[in-house]
Homo-oligomer: A and B are copies of this chain.
Amino acid sequence: MAAAAPAAVANGEVRGGGVPRPTNPMVTPLLTDLYQFSMAYAYWKAGKHLDHAVFDLYFRKNPFAGEFTIFGGLEECIRFIANFKFKEEEISFLRAALPTCEDGFFEYLSSIDCSEVEVYAIPEGSAVFPKVPLMIIQGPVAVVQLLETPFLTLVNYASLVTTNAARHRLVAGKQKNLLEFGLRRAQGPDGGISASRYSYMGGFDATSNVAAGRLFGIPIRGTHSHAFVSSFLGLDEIIDKALSSSDGTNRCEDFVSLVQNWLSRIQDASSLRGTFGETNQSELAAFTSYALAFPNSFLALVDTYDVMRSGVPNFCAVALALNDMGYKAGGIRLDSGDLAYLSIETRKFFYAIEKEFGVVGFGLTNITASNDLNEETIDALNKQGHEVDSFGIGTYLVTCYAQAALGCVFKLVEINKQPRIKLSEDVTKVSIPCKKRCYRLYGKEGYPLVDIMTGQDEPSPKVGERILCRHPFIESKRAHVVPQHVEELLKCYWPGNSSTQREDLTSINENRSRCMRDLDRMRPDHLRKLNPTPYKVSVSTQLYDFIHFLWLNEAPVGELQ
Residues of A that sit less than 8 Å from B by CB:
8-9, 11, 22-28, 30-39, 41-43, 45-48, 51, 53, 55, 89-90, 93-94, 97, 100-101, 141, 145, 148-150, 152-154, 156-158, 161, 181, 183-194, 208-211, 213-214, 220-228, 230-233, 237-240, 274, 276-280, 282, 289-290, 292-294, 296-297, 303-306, 309-310, 336-337, 395, 399-401, 403-408, 410-412, 415, 418, 420-426, 429, 554-559, 561
**Chain B residues closer than 8 Å to A426, beta-carbon distance:** 336
**B227 and A294 contact, CB distance less than 8 A:** no
Tell whether A239 pairs with B47 under 8 Å between CB atoms, given A154-B189, A185-B405, A405-B395: yes
Given the complex, which residues of B lie within 8 Å of A38, measured CB to CB?
222-224, 293-294
Of A145, A185, A187, A239, the most chain B CB neighbours within 10 A belong to: A187
Instruction: List, sorted by A's number, 10 A–B pairs whose CB atoms are closer than 8 Å.
Output: A9-B28, A26-B189, A31-B209, A31-B211, A39-B225, A153-B184, A185-B406, A188-B193, A227-B412, A280-B554
Which chain B residues lie closer than 8 Å to A279 at the CB level? Answer: 556
Of the candidates B152, B188, B214, B220, the one whose C-beta lies within 8 Å of that of A187 is B188
Contact B187–A226 (Cβ < 8 Å): no
- Kindly provide the distance from the CB of A164 to the nearest chain B CB, expressed in whole angstroms: 11
A317 to chain B, nearest CB (A): 15
Nearest 9 pairs of A and B residues by beta carbon? A35-B222, A34-B222, A152-B184, A399-B404, A187-B187, A42-B293, A227-B412, A33-B208, A404-B404
Q: Is the CB of A421 within 8 A of B230?
A: yes
A232 proximity list for chain B (CB < 8 A): 48
Partner of A224, one of B42, B89, B192: B42
Please determine whether B156 and A294 come into contact, CB atoms closer than 8 angstroms.
Answer: no
CB–CB A97/B220 < 8 A? yes
Residues on B with beta carbons closer than 8 Å to the beta carbon of A183: 31-33, 149, 153
Q: In the complex the two chains form, is B156's CB within 8 Å of A289's CB?
A: no
Question: A293 contacts which of B46, B181, B208 (Cβ < 8 Å)?
Answer: B46
Q: In the complex the two chains form, is A185's CB within 8 Å of B407's CB?
A: yes
Among the listed B46, B97, B421, which residue makes an inter-chain contact with A240, where contact means beta carbons less than 8 Å apart? B46
